[in-house]
Structure 1
Amino acid sequence: MSNYYNENAKAFFEGTVVADMSSNYTDFLAKLAKGSHILDAGCGSGRDAKNFKDLGYEVTAIDASESMCALASEYMHQPVEQLRFQDIDFKDVFDGIWASASLLHVPSEELPEVLERFYKALKAQGVLYASFKYGDFEGDRNGRYFHDLKEDKAKELFTKAGFHVSKMWITSDVREDRRDEKWLNILCE
């Protein structure tokens, strides 16, 4: 992982903490009972983790950036563990995993193992939400590594890891200055 998020934590926090992602919560939360345990994987600012917590869910939040963990911990009034996806070792712990705009930083050669780790971390009947920038690009973009996906490749990757892809949809970025950016949203069980 580059040092981008440590070096730009404050600006990233301020630019994302107010983004309204609630429209993407609907299908994910519909599959979870109140009080279910959610892992916010790559929580960034802690925006979604805090919203889930405020809605009555138990939330564990992780991020690879030490600086983002500090800001998110303060924002959501709960410790955020510094942990890379490649080091996750949970077994049957979570009812849901929320990976909004985070798995897209995992290189293609490492993503299958990371998805298998996520699959093992979910309880039976667990649900996973993930989003990727829509496209075929893979590499450095403005100081960060990105792995964009389209539907066919996403379905192949998630299916090979054991998931059943129940829904995929494309959305525009919710931030006003980035409306032209497209996102692939994936819901798996």
Structure 2
Amino acid sequence: MSPDNWLADTQTSYDTVAVNYADLVRNALSELQYLRSALALFADGVLAAGGGPVADIGCGPGHITAHLHERGLDAFGVDLSPGMIAVARHDHPHLRFEVGSMTNLSLPASSLAGLLAWQSLIHIPDEDVPTVFEHFRRSLRPGGLLQLLFHTGDRSRLMTEGYGGHPMKVYVHRRQPDKVTGWLRDTGFAVEAQLLLNNPDGEVSQAVLFARRELGV
């Protein structure tokens, strides 16, 4: 699987399902109290440090970006899929959204007070995750906050059908929190906390990691 192929397949897949995906998640956050609490901690941390621009990387239709804005953050969204960005701009015309890839993030160095990547890292192959984290570190100011949300596990699978029954070709990579934590520390982040979320069977299904770009790194 070459980098060009998986990126192109991921973009095409989310272009195809953008409208249906937006309909599915538009109001979903209202029922996810633990994730709302994680966002509140992130927002409070950014504001306590003086505020500043916050990037929602892999923003999809922009619902999380809008929630961060409502909590007082100067938030904007970036997504690989032009289709998703079109939906985000339609649903939230007062906010800034742009097409971009976390594998080649073109944000100014040390320009961000915070960076969020919710359920977007799951499509990045293992060999490319350190490069992504380097882009995150470079874009954040020293001491800037990072929050990740991802599926936990040890397997990857190819998703061939998605939201609304549309065809997709996108890999979903499940990872253990300690593996992601190791990558973060190797890249110059201090991991401060983690939140583990269980599925109905009591197994850990998702993790939220709270990290900070180390000073002087």
Matched letter for residue 170 of structure 1: L
* Paired position in structure 2 for 1:153: 179
* Paired position in structure 2 for 1:25: 39
* Paired position in structure 2 for 1:186: 209
Query: Residue 84 of structure 1: CA displacement?
Result: 0.8
Q: Deviations over 1:39-78 (max 9, x none)?
A: 0001011011111112221112100001000001111213
Q: 1:67 to 1:135 in 2, by over 3 A?
A: same
Q: Deviations over 1:150-176 (max 9, x none)?
A: 122111111111111111121147xx9
* Paired position in structure 2 for 1:50: 66
Query: Residue 85 of structure 1: CA displacement?
Result: 0.7
Query: Residue 181 of structure 1: CA displacement?
Result: 7.8
Q: Distance in 2 between matches of 1:62 and 1:140?
A: 24
The structure with the greater share of residues assigned to helix is: 2
Aligned pair count reads: 185
**Corresponding residue to 1:63 among 64, 67, 79:** 79
TM-score (norm 1): 0.90
Larger displacement relative to structure 2 (154-163 or 19-28)? 19-28
Show structure 2 runs of 5+ residues with no match. Answer: 1-6, 30-34, 161-168, 213-217
Matched letter for residue 26 of structure 1: A
Matched letter for residue 29 of structure 1: A
What percent of counterpart residues are identical?
Answer: 23
TM-score (norm 2): 0.79
**Corresponding residue to 1:12 among 15, 21, 25:** 21
* Paired position in structure 2 for 1:73: 89
Q: What SS is found at the alignment partner of 2:28?
A: coil
Q: Is the counterpart of residue 162 in structure 1 residue 185 in structure 2?
A: no
Show structure 1 runs of 5+ residues with no match. Answer: none
Q: What SS is found at the alignment partner of 1:31?
A: helix
Matched letter for residue 99 of structure 2: Q
Q: Distance in 2 between matches of 1:128 and 1:79?
A: 20
* Contact preservation (8 Å) 2:39, 2:68: no
Structure-to-structure mapping, 1:36-185, within 5 angstroms: 36-77=52-93, 78-90=95-107, 91-142=109-160, 143-172=169-198, 182-185=205-208
Q: Which protein has the larger Cα radius of gyration, Structure 1 or Structure 2?
A: 2
Q: Distance in 2 between matches of 1:130 and 1:50?
A: 17
